[in-house]
Structure 1
Amino acid sequence: MIALGFEGARVMRHDGWDDGPLAMAQGRIVDGDAPRVDLSGYDILPGIVDIHGDGFERHMAPRRGALRERASGIVACAAELAANGITTAMLAQFWSWEGGMRGPEFATEVFASVQAVAPTVPVDLRLQLRLETHFLDSFADAEAAIDRWGIRQVVFNDHLQHDRIAAGRKPQRLTGQALKSGRSPEAHLAMMTALHDRRAEVPAALDAICARLAAKGVNLGSHDDRTANDRAIWRARGARLSEFPETAAAARAAGGAGDGIVLGAPNVVRGASHAGNIAAADLIAAGLCDALASDYHYPAPARAAWRCVELGLLSEAAAWRLISDGPARLLGLHDRGRIAPGLRADLAILDRRTRRVAATIAGGRIAWMSGDIASRFIARG
């Protein structure tokens, strides 16, 4: 951590820009003076808080079976996060019957790697466990992993194609998913059918595990809510986070009850959901979004914020809050997400002309720097 001040830049405060000096020391934003760097032509914004992203997977397993050095993948992931202005990242890892990179064995490798690497990199790396609702026989193991690795956020998914299984039809993409899991298509389908057949046991099991996790202070959420009733059921279990609601009805139900709504930044950038669900921009326009997440692409949050401005949906300050203060609030991280005295020195420094990230400071440490801005820091002496 370094003591340093900045002048000449625009600074994104909670309600908008100002051009006053900014200083940091001991990893925090401070009111005092410090040796200053001239950042004329640059903008300083709060570091991005990524509430949900699985882009780390391509670093952990760039080709199936090719690499086993998981820790090196997390180091590379941290560098990519910082290069995109992300200073806090929730790495969303499946715990699923789907197997392969979504199975418990791979999840355990991810958790161990993050625990080993996190203290050595500036970006704050955190874990989210994505638990498949029908993976009943693994609930106890998942809960043990949550306890062991200190995981503070759990989101529930259901990726079984119930309608097709109930109708006796082959699930979509069965062969590809089976190959990824290391099973034959026949074995994979048999397992999916067996899980589907136990669906009557699922609600009570979910009630129980949610109650236990909530009692431990774990932040709970649901994924892909489709109806207002879906959201009501999860809210009753203590899951007050609605990730990627698929319909306006589900989003309105979440917003009306004060639940946190997380949408995908790539959806905003694309202008549509890749899965054919409601466009995130439409929900943002309706005031039904608290945070944008990288989902699967780490450059997307910053680009999505600016896209909200370009579309006339939000002011620059309000758009940036969707990737900084908003997600920090939903995660209960009240020491970040804004630029204010006493908060963490998490800063994304952007070239004003191109809006590209030129430097990232996480917890008062330089996490990323590229190009001409480096000469400004060197010249301060």
Structure 2
Amino acid sequence: MNNETILTNARLVLPDQVLDGTLLLRDGLIAELSPGRSTAPGALDLEGDYLIPGVVDVHTDNLERQVLPRSMARWPSVSAFLAHDGQVAVAGVTTVLDALCLGDLGFDESRLQTARDGIRDLGSLTAAGVLKTEHFLHLRCELPAIDMLAMLEEFHDDPHLRMVSLMDHTPGVGQYVNAEHYKKMRVKAGRTPEEVDNRIAVLTVQRERYAEAHRRAVLSLFEGRGIPVAMHDDWDAAVVARNAADGIEISEFPVNLEAARAAKAHGMAVIAGAPNLVRGGSHSGNVSVADLAREGLVDIIASDYVPPAMIEAAWRLTDVAGMSLPAAVATVTANPARSLHLDDRGRIAPGLRADLVRVREFGGMPVVQAVWRGGARIA
């Protein structure tokens, strides 16, 4: 049986350059890299398309969107997970962290069932070998939620866990630092103003009572375990300084320039959302990722809620921030792999996993043509 594949006539996006060249894949790894075309029989001609490393997505809520394709229309969990897997694969994502929420703040009760079902399905579907993409787990810990710690006790030692984030979605801080914007959003979604006011009052009390103790408990639980811990929606320099003092090394979706600048000053990796960049701004009124990128404040791009936005966002960085294509592609490949301590992927180099994406430009937009994971075609 021949375990070799030759990909030739490709524009290889390497860590420091774009090279017209050829890759030899063998036994799931990149065996050789060479400039120029191959004349070997059976070599696959990529017709001058780009070849980039497989995308590494540290945060996607896409599973939740498959579980609830419409309001009040819950989809069977395994079917939803398989649909999610297929969507991330065709988007060029070969490694994905399924971001699942622990803790109920009152308006998204179904997310807890999604988390329980998703963690179960991730394990069983991975064991069965039916997933196209390699899936890991990202636990999102809602600090003010009364039930968060109990759920975390269930799942903190899951073998697929690769990242943890601390969240606080209390109106008045973080993503919803503008409480009036939060209220308008909830009313628009069908809640009455009285319902929203009552919920804000309850959440404010819960935050005062539980958030600090829960924060200490989560940090203690993961201390020394080698699992990256991020803070979600940093909103000012003081919050970032405290995170740095507590050993948190990742700022996930900072909501303004002040927080992002502080995170970089403390040596943190900054994660930004691909949809923000592709849409041209934040859906919740927070800082534009383009503005962050222009100041050199973006290290990692995550899909957030649109997996196909990852590669398009990387391409856009070359325009909005003047980044080289290798540097821009690294925000969705090498940089997230490094942050997760996945040293076997994220770059095109001999000895690394043959996770690869063929990309063709159409009017300046990148279009995924083919995806390989471990040398095997998955899309």
Shorter-normalised TM range: 0.7 to 0.9
When structure 1 is superposed on structure 2, of 2-11 and 341-350 the one drifting more is 2-11
Equivalent residue letter for 1:247:
N
**Does residue 367 in structure 1 map to residue 378 in structure 2?**
yes
Tell me, in whole angstroms, the C-alpha distance in 2 between the residues paired with 1:156 and 1:177: 25
Query: Residues 66-110 of structure 1, C-alpha deviation per residue, up to 9 Å, x if partnerless?
Result: 344211211111111121111111111112313546542321011
Q: Which runs of 5+ in 1 are unaligned?
A: 369-381
**Does residue 336 in structure 1 map to residue 337 in structure 2?**
no
Question: In structure 2, do the counterparts of structure 1 residues 138 and 301 end up closer, same or farther at CA, with 3 Å as the change threshold?
Answer: closer
Contact 1:5 1:34 in 2 (8 A): no
What SS class does the counterpart of residue 135 from structure 1 fall into? coil
Q: What is the aligned partner in structure 1 of residue 322 from structure 2? A: 313
What SS class does the counterpart of residue 157 from structure 2 fall into? helix
Matches within 5 A, 1:146-185: 146-148=156-158, 150-162=160-172, 171-174=183-186
**Does residue 127 in structure 1 map to residue 137 in structure 2?**
yes
How much does 1:200 deviate? 4.5
Contact 1:89 1:126 in 2 (8 A): yes
Contact 1:4 1:23 in 2 (8 A): yes
How much does 1:132 deviate? 0.8
When structure 1 is superposed on structure 2, of 167-176 and 38-47 the one drifting more is 167-176
How much does 1:192 deviate? 5.2
Tell me, in whole angstroms, the C-alpha distance in 2 between the residues paired with 1:98 and 1:342: 46
Tell me, in whole angstroms, the C-alpha distance in 1 between the residues paired with 2:189 and 2:357: 38
Question: In structure 2, do the counterparts of structure 1 residues 177 and 147 end up closer, same or farther at CA, with 3 Å as the change threshold?
Answer: farther
Tell me, in whole angstroms, the C-alpha distance in 1 between the residues paired with 2:100 and 2:244: 22
How much does 1:50 deviate? 1.1
Equivalent residue letter for 1:286:
E
Contact 1:244 1:264 in 2 (8 A): yes
Contact 2:236 2:258 in 1 (8 A): yes
Matches within 5 A, 1:209-288: 209-288=218-297
Tell me, in whole angstroms, the C-alpha distance in 2 between the residues paired with 1:82 and 1:187: 40
Equivalent residue letter for 2:344:
D
Query: Residues 179-223 of structure 1, C-alpha deviation per residue, up to 9 Å, x if partnerless?
Result: 7xxxx9978865653442241542233123212122333221111
Tell me, in whole angstroms, the C-alpha distance in 2 between the residues paired with 1:267 and 1:191: 28
Give the structure-2-normalised TM-score.
0.86
When structure 1 is superposed on structure 2, of 284-293 and 145-154 the one drifting more is 145-154
**Does residue 205 in structure 1 map to residue 250 in structure 2?**
no
Equivalent residue letter for 1:216:
R
Q: Which runs of 5+ in 2 are unaligned?
A: 34-39
Contact 2:92 2:357 in 1 (8 A): yes
Question: In structure 2, do the counterparts of structure 1 residues 101 and 87 end up closer, same or farther at CA, with 3 Å as the change threshold?
Answer: farther
When structure 1 is superposed on structure 2, of 112-121 and 218-227 the one drifting more is 112-121
**Does residue 111 in structure 1 map to residue 119 in structure 2?**
yes
Equivalent residue letter for 2:5:
L
